[in-house]
Amino acid sequence: MNIVFLLIVVTAFAAAAWRQWHFVPSDGAEAVSSPMEALSSGMVASATGAIELAIGLVGVMALFLGLMKVAEEGGMLVIIAKLIRPLMVRLFPQVPANHPAMGAMILNMSANALGLGNAATPFGIRAMQALDALNPRPGTATNAMAMFLAINTSGVTLLPAKVIAIRAASGSMDPAGILPTTLFATVVSTLAAIAAALLFQRFFPVGQPTAEELAMARPWVADAQAVALPAASTQAAAEDVSAYPLWVCILALGCIVLAIPATIFWGKVIAPWIVPTMMLGFLVFGWLRGVRIYEAFVEGAKDGFGVALRIMPYLVAILVAVGMLRASGALDVIVGTLAVVTAPLGLPAEALPMALLRPLSGSGAYGVMTATLTDPAIGPDSYVGYLVSTIMGSSETTFYVLAVYFGAVQVRRIRHTLLAALTADVVAVVASVAICRYLFT
């Protein structure tokens, strides 16, 4: 991450310096900012926006971390892990089959698949904290962490609700027309993410921990271990967390598969019910399992503030770097250069900014999509309109995800995670172009 961070900043500074060197204000244009002034303003605005974003996440994280605490104390994560055990043990062989991290990862993937946006973040943070309890080298990403985040940034999307809403607001006659294209692109990119994570982990060894790393304070690890310990405290408990019969696991996976067409056909009806039903379901489940749900919820919600504080520096670093890249004009130069090659392949210049900006900035990508869909010369139901919508719905803000999730557990050495995630991003764009060209040209 050190190299990536420095490369983005150096590229932005070099682009701004070149433009500044050739900058000649025209008559009466004193108010026009010079390239370096624009770069400075972009840096300050990005830093401010990063803090505002982190503060805005506090409430969401407090809510869903509270629900996660209720689920943990009621044993929901272990139940979920047991249901999906045949699949998860193959993807995450380093994680014990009944570990709470399994259930937390599944909840995060499910929330992302249903288009819950920031609501999925607390589940992912809880999963990372549980995975860090198994980490032999604090501060360094494990293979399981890398695999989880690679899947997270490319996860199968059943209901890209925000994208559909923007298409509807832009006057689309078929706002939900991207459901099959998004599903196809995310399935392909998820398979690519899994393959990339398995391939690249061989070239990025974990290494031996230093004394300083072993002494690093990790309060979240104690919380994760407190959830996991009761499961192994007695023989009866150990039997309780053994895998369900194979037919039960197959039935559970079958229900997930059947949810795909159900979401495609009834997604607009289902979407408003997801979050309220989730809260009711978690609380009722905890109450039926004998959990003191109010106390557990409040205890879990307290973590939201601590997590927000931990991720702030990481967000400032990555969002300022991305803001510099945009404000310097370097991104425009890259788009103009690549468009010559990508346009004949089905990725025209109008859609290329979305492909490049999506891994870097979620708000920037939404801005690009909205501007494209509302452009009278393009429109939401054109090939370009479907393409930018599909790219938006089938990929994730990779650098943001890595900054938030790794920041929550103080991981600085990310090993092959970024490479695997960016591989999935590239595949998502290629798959989006392929399916949109097949269906809409």
Q: Is the pLDDT of residue 170 over 80?
A: yes
Percent of the chain with pLDDT over 90: 27
User: What residues contact 254, with CB distance under 8 A and at least 6 apart?
Assistant: none
pLDDT in the model for residue 360: 81
pLDDT above 70 covers what percent of the chain?
86
Question: Rounded mean pLDDT of 394-409?
Answer: 88
Indicate whether 305 pLDDT > 50: yes
What one-letter code names the amino acid at 31? A
How far apart (Å, rounded) are the C-alpha atoms in residues 262 and 186?
17
Residue 64 binned pLDDT confidence (cut-offs 50, 70, 90) = confident
User: Would you state the pLDDT for residue 99?
Assistant: 84
Q: How far apart are CA 110 and CA 99, in angstroms?
A: 18
Residue 182, pLDDT > 50, answer yes
Average pLDDT over residues 295-305: 84
In angstroms, the CA 316 to CA 95 distance is 32
Residue identified by tokens 């999935």 is 424
Question: Residue for token digits 């979050």?
Answer: 275
What pLDDT, in 10s, does the model give residues 359-396?
887 777 877 788 888 888 899 999 999 999 999 988 88
pLDDT (0 to 100) of residue 224: 58
At residue 122, the pLDDT reads 85
Model pLDDT for residues 67-82, shown as the tens digit of each residue: 878 887 887 767 776 7
HEC profile of 4-45: HHHHHHHHHHHHHHHHHHCCCCCCCCCCCCCHHHHHHHHHHH
CA-nearest of 335, 310, 95, 133 to 220 is: 133
- Quick one: average pLDDT of 275-302? 88
What is the per-residue pLDDT for 243? 60
Of the pLDDT bands very low, low, confident and very high (cuts 50, 70, 90), residue 157 is confident
Which amino acid would we find at residue 146?
Answer: A
Determine the Cα–Cα distance for residues 24 and 46; give it in Å rounded to an integer: 26
Per the listing, tokens 């995800």 go with 401
Question: Cα separations (Å) of 162 from 144, 159, 256, 357, 435?
Answer: 29, 9, 22, 17, 21
Measured over the CA atoms of residue 108, residue 112, residue 114 and residue 115, the dihedral's sign is positive
Range list of H helices, 271-378 = 274-288, 293-327, 330-342, 352-357, 362-373
CA nearest neighbour of 8 among 359, 414, 260, 352:
359
186-229 per-position pLDDT tens digit: 989 999 999 999 999 999 999 898 888 888 888 887 665 555 54
- Is pLDDT at 241 greater than 50 in this prediction? no
pTM of the entire predicted model? 0.74
Q: Are 98 and 241 in contact (CB under 8 A)?
A: yes
DSSP 8-state assignment for residue 234: S
What pLDDT score does 235 carry? 35
Q: How far apart are the first and last CA of the chain?
A: 40
Instruction: Return d(Cα 129, Cα 145) in angstroms, integer.
Output: 10
What is the average pLDDT score of the chain? 82
What are residue 413's DSSP bridge partners? 140
For the cut 60, the answer to whether the pLDDT of residue 304 exceeds it is yes
Alpha-carbon distance values, 244 to 11, 70, 98, 235 (Å): 53, 22, 11, 17
- pLDDT band of residue 242 (cuts 50, 70, 90) is low
Query: Rounded to 5, what percent of the chain is helix, strand, coil?
Result: 75, 0, 25
3-state secondary structure of 135: coil
The whole-number average pLDDT for the span 297-317 is 79
Cα within 13 Å of Cα(32), Cβ side: 10
Q: Which of 156, 108, 153, 157 is nearest to 130 (CA)?
A: 108
pLDDT of residue 420: 96
pLDDT at 33: 78
pLDDT at 31: 57
Residue 377: how many other CB atoms lie within 10 Å: 8
The pLDDT tens digits for 17-38 are 999 988 877 665 455 678 899 8
CB 80 within 8 Å of CB 107 = yes
Q: Model confidence over 115-151: pLDDT tens digits? A: 666 667 888 998 999 999 999 999 999 999 999 999 9
pLDDT in tens, 313-367: 877 887 788 788 888 988 888 888 888 888 888 999 889 888 988 888 777 787 7
Question: What 3-state class would DSSP assign to 102?
Answer: helix
pLDDT at 260: 63
